[in-house]
């Protein structure tokens, strides 16, 4: 079942790609979706990233201070945040907040024959519904990740400054961070997040379009959209990390 879903989702992605020239015409809907993503997740992303950065510093800081390598803490938190935790945690958050909403909205349109109505009017549901959502999430998620990475770095800095067991100043943290983190590392995370965005958008829209049955079917689609997205994100994360390890 899972693999069949993946196959169909890939097909949906190809159909959406073929509609690519229509993006400009759908800009209004893309904009609305972007707003939705921003409104629903900016605050949550901020909170989440701040605490992740903080806890990273808290877990590693005392140990590294004891061993006299506290000047690596900033770099460690910086790299972990931008290459791994920023993209993955934001993708998980967005699949819960936005992927679920996409599956629910499109799923209920399917159940209430709204998609059939679009098809009778010769309006391609892929162009009308899937394309704007896909474009919005592919633009929105990397921006959110960039923002989260910076907030996470700040969270780490705050913990290092305020915790007496960690022997590091703000300037020391920032120096360490800027010494170890290259622009390429941030780009690495952003590339991952683009891939994750495609996964979330395609999987959620696919589950929505394939909804059968009434409200219960919508519930099933939402669950599957979120679970499948997260599973695929974590698997893809390993593959992408392996591919980009020396980049």
d(CA 36, CA 191): 22
Residues from 166 through 225 that contact other proteins (CB under 8 A): none
Taking alpha carbons only, the member of 110, 109, 94 closest to residue 37 is: 94
| Member of 119, 169, 179, 234 binding other proteins (CB under 8 A) | 119
Estimate the crossing angle of helix 183-209 against helix 215-243, to 10 degrees: 150
Closer residue to other proteins in complex, CB, 212/243: 212
Stretch that binds other proteins, among 62-70, 102-110, 162-170, 239-247 (CB under 8 A): 102-110
CA dihedral 187, 193, 199, 201 (to 10 degrees): -120
Contact 160, 74 (CB under 8 A): yes
Tokens of residue 46, six digits:
């901020």
Taking alpha carbons only, the member of 148, 153, 150 closest to residue 53 is: 153
| Member of 34, 114, 175, 187 binding other proteins (CB under 8 A) | 114
Contact 89, 52 (CB under 8 A): yes
Q: How many chain residues interact with other proteins (CB under 8 A)? A: 15
Instruction: Give the distance from CA 132 to its chain's centroid.
Output: 17
Find where tokens 């506290």 sit.
70
Shortest Cβ 43–other proteins spacing (Å): 24
| Member of 67, 122, 164, 238 binding other proteins (CB under 8 A) | 122
Closer residue to other proteins in complex, CB, 62/219: 219
| Member of 116, 178, 223, 231 binding other proteins (CB under 8 A) | 116
Shortest Cβ 159–other proteins spacing (Å): 44
Closer residue to other proteins in complex, CB, 21/68: 21
128 binds other proteins (CB under 8 A): yes
Site residues for other proteins per CB under 8 A = 105, 108-109, 112-114, 116-123, 128
């Amino acid at each position: 079942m899972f693999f069949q879903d993946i196959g169909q989702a890939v097909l949906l992605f190809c159909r959406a790609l073929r509609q690519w020239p229509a993006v400009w015409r759908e800009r209004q809907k893309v904009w609305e979706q972007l707003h939705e993503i921003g409104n629903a997740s900016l605050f949550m992303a901020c909170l989440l990233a701040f605490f992740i950065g903080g806890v990273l510093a808290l877990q590693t800081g005392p140990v590294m201070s004891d061993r006299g390598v506290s000047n690596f803490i900033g770099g460690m938190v910086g790299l972990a945040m931008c290459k791994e935790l920023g993209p993955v945690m934001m993708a998980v958050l967005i699949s819960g907040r936005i992927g679920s909403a996409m599956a629910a909205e499109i799923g209920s349109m399917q159940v209430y024959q709204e998609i059939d109505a679009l098809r009778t009017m010769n309006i391609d549901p892929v162009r009308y519904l899937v394309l704007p959502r896909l474009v919005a999430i592919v633009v929105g998620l990397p921006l959110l990740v960039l923002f989260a990475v910076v907030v996470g770095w700040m969270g780490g800095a705050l913990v290092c400054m305020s915790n007496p067991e960690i022997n590091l100043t703000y300037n020391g943290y920032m120096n360490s961070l800027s010494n170890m983190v290259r622009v390429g590392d941030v780009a690495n995370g952003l590339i991952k997040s683009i891939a994750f965005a495609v996964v979330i958008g395609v999987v959620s829209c696919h589950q929505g379009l394939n909804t059968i049955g009434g409200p219960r079917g919508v519930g099933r689609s939402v669950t599957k959209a979120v679970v499948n997205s997260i599973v695929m994100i974590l698997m893809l994360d390993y593959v992408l990390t392996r591919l980009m390890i020396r980049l």
